[in-house]
Amino acid sequence: MNYWPLLGIALVVIGFALRFNPLLVVVAAALATGLLAGLDLVAVIEALGQAFNDNRYISVTWIILPVIGLLERYGLQQRARGVIESVRGATMGKLLTIYLLFRQLTAALGMKDIGGHPQAVRPLVAPMAEAAAEKSHGTLADEHREKVLAMSAATDNVGLFFGEDIFFAIASILLIQGVFESYGYPLTPLQLSVWAIPTAICAFIIHSWRIRSLDRKLGKGRA
């Protein structure tokens, strides 16, 4: 067995550790892996081009991120904070719980890209959660502020992770179906997605409790 292609993994680790440009690191590692596996340079470049062509939706990121950057430059986060500050009775716990429910429901319907860290959490959810926390508990210490931001990101992760498995056409469901079928348990994607619902409900209850718990601790000044 030829282990030389595994050097590509070492290149990724070293490149990220030295904080080189991630895109250059990944491309260099892919080229090195292909060449060490015995492919010629043209074949490796063709494989990279084919992979990019088969996943063209990746290029949408380069359109969305500049738009979000411009919106932030012209006060999107401040506007989001202002909206929450004007809402009577708004709290961090209520806000993040509603977002968790929204994220799970949309992911369960296959709309997993409707939220996310760059397009939703950073410009909207996190500033709104921070504003709601300060509205309820006053100016936050840096440590408490970081916990609010982290909880905002975690809420998006939990909502997406446990919501998307309810959508029967998601890749993870098809992978699970393939594994079960290989062991002699023929199941349909719909059957698997139905059994993901109890897990999603439990995840919603547990994470909602974590959100409310953090909100209460902020009020007591010991988050």
**pLDDT for position 199:** 93
Angstrom distances, CA of residue 75 to CA of 66, 72, 209: 14, 5, 32
How confident is the prediction for the chain on average, in pLDDT? 84
Q: What is the pLDDT of residues 3-27, one digit of tens each?
A: 778 888 888 889 888 888 877 888 8
Instruction: State the angle between helix axes of 126-137 and 142-164 in degrees (0 to 180), rounded to the nearest 10.
Output: 130
Q: Which of 53-67, 69-83, 101-115 is predicted least confidently? A: 53-67
Q: What is the pLDDT of residue 89?
A: 79
The amino acid sitting at 47 is A
What integer is the mean pLDDT of 44-60? 66
Closest CA to 151 of 112, 96, 111: 96
| Distance in Å from the first CA to the final CA of the chain | 53
pLDDT at 55: 54
Tokens of 96: 């993040």
For 65-79, what is the mean pLDDT? 73
Please check whether residue 69 is in contact with residue 123, taking contact to mean a CB–CB distance below 8 angstroms.
no
DSSP-assigned letters across all residues of 39-79: --HHHHHHHHHHHHHHTGGGGGHHHHHHHHHHHHHTTHHHH
Kindly report the pTM of this predicted structure: 0.67
